[in-house]
Amino acid sequence: MRIAFLVAPEGVEQIELTDPCQAVRDAGGEAVLVSTEPGRVQAFDHLDKADTFPVQEVVDKARAIDFDGLVLPGGVANPDVLRLDERAVAFVKEFFHLGLPVAAICHAPWTLIEADVVRGRALTSWPSLRTDIRNAGGTWVDEQVTICDGGSNTLITSRKPDDLKAFCEVIVAEFGKSTERAAR
């Protein structure tokens, strides 16, 4: 199981990156940090700078076909930067085109909205995105974790850091199913 974690060079909520990465590793998978720029990404603990993490692949060279799934961590600034980057948006769209599972937490659905992939899907997020999701044709629900199997792939969404335990359990299970299907 090889999972891409797409983040901007600065602004990702650290725990929304590190907890899902560790869950993937604990399940025997590979968590690959993909960003729009090489070097290191600056994570945040809410509004305070936290740790930095090395970028393993740059979105220009990364291909969705080389992964079993995609995680979009939140943080307010992270998805706001990603949704303005055409390369990042194209990378997200590629996962949907290939039918690969995608997971997003907190503010990360902003990137999904920009990729125009929420229409007709039920998803959750940080509450302030509710109107954005509805305006993009999605159905916003207030649930810890939402799994939507609409279209050709699975979309997993979660609201906030407090939901990380459930989010991590679901992404590992869903990405595992995708890996099993691909092996057949």
* pLDDT score recorded for residue 182: 60
Active site residue 106: yes
Superfamily of domain 2-183: Class I glutamine amidotransferase (GATase) domain (3.40.50.880)
Q: By C-alpha distance, which of 119, 36, 94, 104 is closest to 74?
A: 104
CB count within 10 Å of CB 147 equals 17
Q: Where are the alpha helices (DSSP H) in 3-83?
A: 14-26, 77-82
* pLDDT cut 70: percent of the chain above it: 95
Of 42-51, 112-121, 172-181, the one with minimum mean pLDDT is: 172-181
Per-residue pLDDT of 49-75, as tens digits, reads 999 999 999 999 999 999 999 999 999
Is residue 15 a contact partner of residue 43, using CB atoms and an 8 Å limit?
A: no
Residue among 21, 107, 148, 168 flagged as catalytic: 107
Active site residue 107: yes
Q: What are phi and psi of 107, to 5 degrees?
A: -85, -5
Residue among 46, 97, 106, 168 flagged as catalytic: 106
For residue 41, give the DSSP letter: E
Side-chain half-sphere exposure of 81, counting CA atoms within 13 A: 18
Q: What are phi and psi of 121, to 5 degrees?
A: -115, 150
Distance CA 30, CA 142 (A): 30
* Range 16-33 average pLDDT: 98
Provide the token pair at 36: 């729009």
* pLDDT score recorded for residue 152: 75
Distance CA 17, CA 31 (A): 10
* pLDDT score recorded for residue 22: 98
| pTM value surpassing 0.75 | yes
Is residue 146 a contact partner of residue 154, using CB atoms and an 8 Å limit?
A: no
